[in-house]
Amino acid sequence: MSEEIQEVVVETQQQEAVEPSYEDEARAQGWVPQEEFRGKEEDWVSAETFVRRGKEIMPILRKNNERLLKELNEAKKAAEEAREAAKEFREYQKEVSERKVKELQTQMEQLKQAKREAISSGDGDRVIAIDDAMDDIKEEQRTTKEQAKEKIQESKQQEQAMDPN
């Protein structure tokens, strides 16, 4: 009899050595025994149930996590592309504005030269017309600069709105 009991004990010990206990695996995943459990009594589950549920739920969670990470990376990429487009747009607006200001400065220089010629020839009506044209160009320069600043500011605000940080 004693030999049979020893064989059963040895066999049980060998099985325990080969198979990790559910309790050890469950504890590694956050499970606690009922006496340490702090939730509702009916919410507590055995270590075996806890481990089995984990094995059933884990693949679903992993798949959802992979999908969400993919979506997040795509959103980050799209946001980066939008920021880059906004930056390019700002640079384009700045170039267009600078080009327009230079055109207006060239026109202003031409009008100044024409005014000198009108004054030296004594053509008062032409001087008045040139002064009016110069006033129009000054107003257009001011408007162009303001519009460029507004567009650049809008672009910066849009870029900041896209920034997740």
> What's the pLDDT at 52?
87
**63-75: per-residue pLDDT in tens?**
999 999 999 999 9
Give me the amino acid identity at 6. Answer: Q
Please determine, for residue 165, whether its predicted confidence score (pLDDT) is greater than 60.
no
How would you write 75-126 as a 3-class SS string?
HHHHHHHHHHHHHHHHHHHHHHHHHHHHHHHHHHHHHHHHHHHHHHHCCHHH
What is the rounded average pLDDT of the residues 80-87? 89
Task: Please compute the mean of the pLDDT values over residues 84-92 and round it to a whole number.
Answer: 88
Short-list 11, 31, 15, CA closest to 23: 31
- Give the C-alpha distances (Å, rounded to integers) separating 26 from 17, 60, 92: 17, 19, 60
* pLDDT tens-place string over residues 47-63: 889 888 888 888 888 89
pLDDT level of residue 18 (50, 70, 90 thresholds): very low
Whole-angstrom distance, CA of residue 99 vs CA of residue 95: 6
Both tokens assigned to 111: 């009008």
Which of 11, 22, 96 shows the shortest CA–CA distance to 55? 22
